[in-house]
């Protein structure tokens, strides 16, 4: 690591009376990957937005390359050598890769855009970071991983000296993660300092040099990654050690009734002749590699996608679910892996998001009882420990983990019997994960039934009573948790016809 390129000291930030940042310190050196960690709502994103000029700080100082700076917008911070790659990429899928990279600063030949030069410069940038991407293809045709490489090349093209990566691996395959880390190591060798925000502890240990932890808007401390264990970092983040041992035996009685039965379900090319049962009080884990068809099974079951053939029985009675509304009426709720696309109304309040599925309960004499909605929403979100200043807070202002809790509050208010959790802990921190685990276990203990889809084998083993394993649209294995080693799960996850 080289000289200090960024020094943030005593950063303060208030939002409508909420003290979001309480004297936070942060330092970044040239050629360093510095992890920024904390629970959802700890203030990580707010700190980055203060750095980039999106938010005006209310106290403290920022020095970049030894000079005090106070950016008023993103354009100013970019001009100074700062680039941010957000978890949710904000790019234009209908334009080519090269057009996305040089949007607003296209090379010109006279008054016309010089497309040939733009393509050549894009190719040179990809060569510089060591990736193979055709600059002439439309961005929407690339995987999320390749789109992130385009963003990195775009940052390099601006002569970036400080790169912020916010949950960059959340939607990547393992080969794409390896490619990203190779590029990051190359950038580190070139002296570029990187702030790395992630909740994946294995990645932090592997790629970072130092870790700074925040909690509830406060600076907790900075440590050398090589000198601490995962448990040390977790304890800094949440103030306690979160334990997560494998479940040794199913907690479901042998005579527990079957609440859901699926027979010979087929839906497009992704779901092929799927059959399974779900018992009362059971957490049924669905494991498999990316593209195995797990999400497609959930969406077909919920009526979000059409099914070609198959039978669904709830409490022994056949049902014909064609829409999500029909699924909800039959006691099934679904928490999508893409919560912002399919689950959230970001411009509405916490109260409105919580009550949207059960408005009929709050209609009196033809009028919606907003006070009763706010009361019940506050009680339900209180049980989930949702961090929000009030029930009137817009959902877009909450952290990802707290947005997830609001969706769960929605289905608790609806009092569903069958919960489908699709990647429930994706993009949330270790403390929020622990709370999510406790919530699912509590639901099962109260007689609710849970289908949990997860790509994390440790998570599957931690919660499931029984595990269904899929590969290429088919069920290839079914394991009792007592017999479910990671090796056994992976054997079935790679078992093709």
| Position 363 pLDDT exceeds 60 | yes
Average pLDDT, the chain: 88
Quote the CA–CA distance of 226 and 141 in Å, as a whole number: 39
374 versus 158: which is more confidently predicted?
374
Query: For residue 467, is pLDDT > 80?
Result: yes
What is the CATH topology of the domain spanning 4-238?
A: Rossmann fold (3.40.50)
Question: Under DSSP, is residue 39 helix (H, G, I), strand (E, B) or coil?
Answer: coil
The CA distances from residue 445 to 334, 352, 398, 440, in Å, are 19, 28, 29, 9
* Domain 4-238 shares a fold with domain 258-493: yes
- For the structural domain made of 258-493, what CATH number should be given? 3.40.50.300
Mean pLDDT, range 182-187, rounded to an integer: 90
Per-residue pLDDT at 472 exceeds 80: yes
Task: Calculate the alpha carbon distances from 181 to 125, 165, 175, 346, 370 in Å.
Answer: 17, 12, 10, 32, 49
Q: Which helix (H) or strand (E) holds 68?
A: strand 67-68
Mean per-residue pLDDT, 307-323: 96
Closest CA relative to residue 278, chosen from 234, 217, 332, 203: 332
Share in percent of the chain as helix, strand, coil (round to 5): 35, 30, 35
Mean pLDDT of 65-93: 88
Position 220 pLDDT exceeds 60: yes
358 pLDDT band (50/70/90 cuts)? confident
CA 400 to chain centre: 7
Alpha-carbon span 396 to 384, nearest angstrom: 18
Question: Is 64 buried (19+), middle (13-18) or exposed (0-12) by CB count in 10 A?
Answer: buried
**HSE-up of residue 476 (Cα within 13 Å, Cβ side):** 22
What are the structural domain ranges in the chain?
Answer: 4-238, 258-493
pLDDT greater at residue 261 or residue 485: 261
Most confident by average pLDDT, 14-28, 64-78, 160-174: 64-78
Average pLDDT over residues 43-72: 94
Using CA atoms, how far residue 92 sits from 134, 150, 214, 488, in Å, is 16, 12, 33, 42
Distances in whole angstroms, Cα of residue 158 to Cα of each of 52, 78, 176: 15, 8, 24
In three-state secondary structure terms, 52 is helix
Token pair 């077909």 is found at: 300
Pick the residue with more confidence: 357 or 305? 305
Q: Are 278 and 418 in contact (CB under 8 A)?
A: yes
SS3 337: coil
| pLDDT at position 497 over 70 | no
Sign of the alpha-carbon dihedral angle for 143, 146, 148, 150: negative
Residue 496's pLDDT band (cuts 50, 70, 90): low
Mean pLDDT on 176-191: 89
Q: How many CB atoms lie within 10 A of CB 443?
A: 21
pLDDT band at 240 (very low <50, low <70, confident <90, very high): low
- 325-352 tens-digit pLDDT: 999 999 999 988 776 677 788 889 999 9
- Backbone phi, then psi, for 119, in 5-degree steps? -65, -40
Rounded Cα gap, residues 241 and 262, in angstroms: 39
Are the C-beta atoms of 193 and 32 separated by less than 8 Å?
yes
- Is 429 a residue whose pLDDT tops 70? no
What lies within 8 Å, CB to CB, of 483 at 6+ separation is: none
Question: For 190-310, where are the alpha helices, taking DSSP H only?
Answer: 201-207, 230-238, 294-302
pLDDT of residue 136: 94
User: Which residue's entry shows tokens 């779900």?
Assistant: 278
The residues with which 194 forms a beta bridge, in sequence order, are: 33, 163
Q: What is the pTM of this model?
A: 0.59
pLDDT of 262-285, one tens digit each? 999 999 888 999 999 999 999 999
- Residue 449, CB-side half-sphere exposure with 13 Å CA sphere: 21
Please say whether the beta carbons of 161 and 278 come within 8 A: no
Q: Alpha helix (H) ranges present in 303-399?
A: 324-329, 339-342, 350-355, 370-383
pLDDT band at 456 (very low <50, low <70, confident <90, very high): confident
For the four alpha carbons of 94, 98, 100 and 105, in that order, the dihedral sign comes to negative
Order across the sheet with 283-288: list the strands. Answer: 332-335, 418-422, 449-453, 283-288, 466-471, 474-480
């Amino acid at each position: 690591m080289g000289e200090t390129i960024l020094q943030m000291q005593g950063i303060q930030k208030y939002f409508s009376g909420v003290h979001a940042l309480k004297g936070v310190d942060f330092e970044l050196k040239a050629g360093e990957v510095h992890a920024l960690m904390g629970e959802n709502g700890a203030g990580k994103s707010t700190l980055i937005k203060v750095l980039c000029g999106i938010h005006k700080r209310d106290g403290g100082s920022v020095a970049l390359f030894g000079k005090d700076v106070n950016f008023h917008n993103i354009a100013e911070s970019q001009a100074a050598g700062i680039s941010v790659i957000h978890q949710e990429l904000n790019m234009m899928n209908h334009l080519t890769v090269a057009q996305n990279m040089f949007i607003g600063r296209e090379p010109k030949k006279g008054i016309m855009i010089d497309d040939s030069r733009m393509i050549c410069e894009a190719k040179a940038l990809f060569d510089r970071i060591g990736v193979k991407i055709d600059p002439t293809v439309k961005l929407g045709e690339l995987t999320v991983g390749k789109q992130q490489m385009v963003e990195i090349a775009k940052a390099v093209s601006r002569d970036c000296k400080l790169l912020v990566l916010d949950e960059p691996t959340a939607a990547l395959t393992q080969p794409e993660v390896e490619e990203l880390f190779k590029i990051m190591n190359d950038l580190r060798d070139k002296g570029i300092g990187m702030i790395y925000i992630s909740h994946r502890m294995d990645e932090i240990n592997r790629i970072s040099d130092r870790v700074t932890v925040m909690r509830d808007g406060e600076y907790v401390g900075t440590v050398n990654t090589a000198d601490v264990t995962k448990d040390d970092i977790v304890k800094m983040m949440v103030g306690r050690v979160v334990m997560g041992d494998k479940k040794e035996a199913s907690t479901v009685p042998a005579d527990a009734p079957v609440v859901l039965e699926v027979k010979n379900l087929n839906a497009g090319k992704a779901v092929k002749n799927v059959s399974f049962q779900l018992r009362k009080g059971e957490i049924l884990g669905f494991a498999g590699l990316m593209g195995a068809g797990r999400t497609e099974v959930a969406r077909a079951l919920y009526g979000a996608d059409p099914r070609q053939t198959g039978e669904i029985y709830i409490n022994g009675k056949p049902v014909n679910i064609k829409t999500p509304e029909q699924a909800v009426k039959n006691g099934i709720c679904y928490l999508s892996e893409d919560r912002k696309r399919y689950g959230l109304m970001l411009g509405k309040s916490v109260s409105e998001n919580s009550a949207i599925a059960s408005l009929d309960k709050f209609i009196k004499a033809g009028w919606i009882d907003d006070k009763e909605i706010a009361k019940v929403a506050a009680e339900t979100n209180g049980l989930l420990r949702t961090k929000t200043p009030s029930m009137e807070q817009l959902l877009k202002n909450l952290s990802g983990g707290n947005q997830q809790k609001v969706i769960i509050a929605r289905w608790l208010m609806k009092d569903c019997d069958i919960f489908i959790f699709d990647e429930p802990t994706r993009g949330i921190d270790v403390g929020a994960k622990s709370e999510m685990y406790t919530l699912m276990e509590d639901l099962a203990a109260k007689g609710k039934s849970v289908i949990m889809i997860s790509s994390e084998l440790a998570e599957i083993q931690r919660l499931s009573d029984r595990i269904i394993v899929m590969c290429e649209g088919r069920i290839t294995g079914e394991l009792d948790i007592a017999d479910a080693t990671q090796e056994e799960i992976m054997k079935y996850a790679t078992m093709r016809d």
